C-alpha cells in the first residue's frame, strides 16, 4: 500500500501497488464522492471514450490529473475509472478512524514506463528512478513486458519457464492451476483451502507444500508452498501468455527486486550486500 492524495484535493488515501494491473485506476465507489464535491475534478472524468480494459470491461478515465505517491508528485497522468468497485467513502472513513486510510485505487505498471523500479521488501520502501547503478549486473535477466505485464524467465526444478511477476499476489510464491501444479508440490501432503477474493469475485485457493526450486539468473529461491485454483479462465490465461503461472511477493520478503522498464531487465538482490546509486523521481 502506497500513501496517495490527489493534488489540490483534501483527504489521505492509499493505493494498492499491483504490477499485475496493466493500468492505474481509481475505484468509483470510493473516489466518486470526491468528484461530486469538486466540480473541476469531475470535469476531468471521461466515460464516453473507453480507453482502458479492466476485468474484460472497457472503462473511461480521469484525464490530466496530478497526484502524490507519498511525497512524490506525478503530473498530467491518466487514471482509469473502475465504476462500481471499492468501498463507499462513508465505510472507508470509518476505517480511517482506526489508522487505516481508505484504499482509493490501484497503481499499475503503466505509471512506470521508461523508469526503473526498486522494491525494498524488508525495508517496506520503493523508489522510481531514471537511472540506477547496480552492484552486480550479472544478476539482471532479460524480461518481456507485453501490455504492461512483466514476464520473467525462471528455471523451476531445472526446466525453463516464464512467469508473470505480480505484486498484487502477495500471498503467493507460485500461483498455478490445479491442471499443472502436481509436478511442483508434495502430492502426499493434504491441501489447505482458502476462500479468497480478487476484484470482488470469490473463489477457492488451494495450497500445498512446495517441491520446487526457482532460479532467476544466479539467484536461487526456495518457495515454501505452491498455490493454485481450478478456474479454467486462469489456466487459459496462463496458456495464452505462454507462462507457467504467476510469481508473487512471497519469495522476496527478504530481498530487493529491481525492474528496469527501459531496458527490460529484472534482478533480485540480497538486502545486506546491495549498494545502489540512483537519480530521478
- Residue-wise pLDDT for 169-226, tens only, equals 888 899 999 999 999 999 999 999 999 877 778 889 999 999 999 999 999 999 999 9
Q: What pLDDT is recorded for position 239?
A: 95
Select the CATH number that applies to the domain covering 2-112 from these four: 2.40.70, 2.60.120, 1.20.120, 3.20.20: 2.40.70
Q: What pLDDT is recorded for position 147?
A: 83
| Cell 547503478 -> residue | 133
CATH number at 134-253: 2.40.70.10
Q: Comparing C-alpha atoms, which of 116, 106, 82 is closest to residue 2?
A: 106
Report the distance separating Cα 139 and Cα 213, nearest Å. Answer: 17
Report the distance separating Cα 53 and Cα 269, nearest Å. Answer: 34
Q: Where does the pLDDT of residue 97 fall: very low under 50, low under 70, confident under 90, or very high at 90 and above?
A: very low
Q: What is the dihedral of CA 154, 160, 163, 165, to 10 degrees?
A: 10
The residues pairing with 138 across neighbouring beta strands, listed in sequence order, are: none
pTM of the full predicted structure?
Answer: 0.88
- Give the CB-side neighbour count of residue 109, counting CA atoms within 13 A: 21
Domain locations in the chain as residue ranges: 2-112, 134-253
One fold for 2-112 and 134-253:
yes
- pLDDT per position as a tens digit, 227-271: 999 999 999 999 999 999 999 999 999 999 999 999 999 999 998
Q: State percent of the chain over pLDDT 90.
A: 72
- pLDDT per position as a tens digit, 13-58: 999 999 988 899 999 999 999 999 999 999 999 999 898 888 888 9
Report how far apart, in Å, the C-alpha atoms of 163 and of each of 86, 157, 180, 242, 260 are: 28, 14, 13, 9, 17
Amino acid at each position: 500500500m502506497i500513501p496517495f492524495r490527489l493534488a489540490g484535493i483534501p483527504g489521505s488515501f492509499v493505493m494498492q501497488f499491483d504490477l499485475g494491473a496493466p493500468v492505474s485506476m481509481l475505484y468509483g465507489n470510493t473516489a466518486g464522492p470526491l468528484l461530486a464535491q469538486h466540480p473541476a475534478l469531475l470535469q476531468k472524468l471521461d466515460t464516453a471514450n473507453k480507453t482502458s480494459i479492466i476485468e474484460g470491461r472497457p472503462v473511461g478515465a480521469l484525464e490530466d490529473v496530478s497526484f502524490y505517491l507519498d511525497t512524490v508528485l506525478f503530473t498530467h497522468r491518466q487514471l482509469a475509472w473502475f465504476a462500481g468497485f471499492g468501498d463507499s467513502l462513508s465505510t472507508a472513513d470509518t476505517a480511517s478512524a482506526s489508522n487505516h486510510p481508505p484504499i482509493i485505487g490501484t497503481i499499475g505498471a503503466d505509471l512506470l514506463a521508461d523508469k526503473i523500479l526498486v522494491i525494498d521488501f524488508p525495508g517496506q520502501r520503493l523508489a522510481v528512478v531514471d537511472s540506477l547503478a547496480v552492484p552486480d549486473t550479472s544478476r539482471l535477466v532479460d524480461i518481456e513486458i507485453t501490455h504492461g505485464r512483466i514476464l520473467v524467465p525462471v528455471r523451476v526444478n531445472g526446466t525453463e519457464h516464464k512467469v508473470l511477476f505480480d505484486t498484487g499476489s502477495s500471498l503467493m510464491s507460485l500461483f498455478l492451476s490445479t491442471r499443472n501444479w502436481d509436478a511442483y508440490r508434495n502430492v502426499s501432503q493434504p491441501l489447505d483451502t482458502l476462500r479468497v477474493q480478487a476484484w470482488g469475485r470469490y473463489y477457492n485457493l488451494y495450497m500445498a507444500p512446495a517441491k520446487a526450486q526457482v532460479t532467476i539468473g544466479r539467484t536461487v529461491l526456495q518457495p515454501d508452498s505452491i498455490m493454485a485454483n481450478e478456474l479454467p479462465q486462469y489456466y487459459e490465461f496462463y496458456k495464452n501468455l505462454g507462462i507457467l503461472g504467476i510469481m508473487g511477493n512471497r519469495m522476496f520478503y527478504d530481498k530487493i527486486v529491481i525492474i528496469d522498464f527501459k531496458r527490460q531487465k529484472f534482478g533480485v538482490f540480497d538486502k545486506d550486500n546491495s549498494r545502489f546509486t540512483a537519480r530521478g523521481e
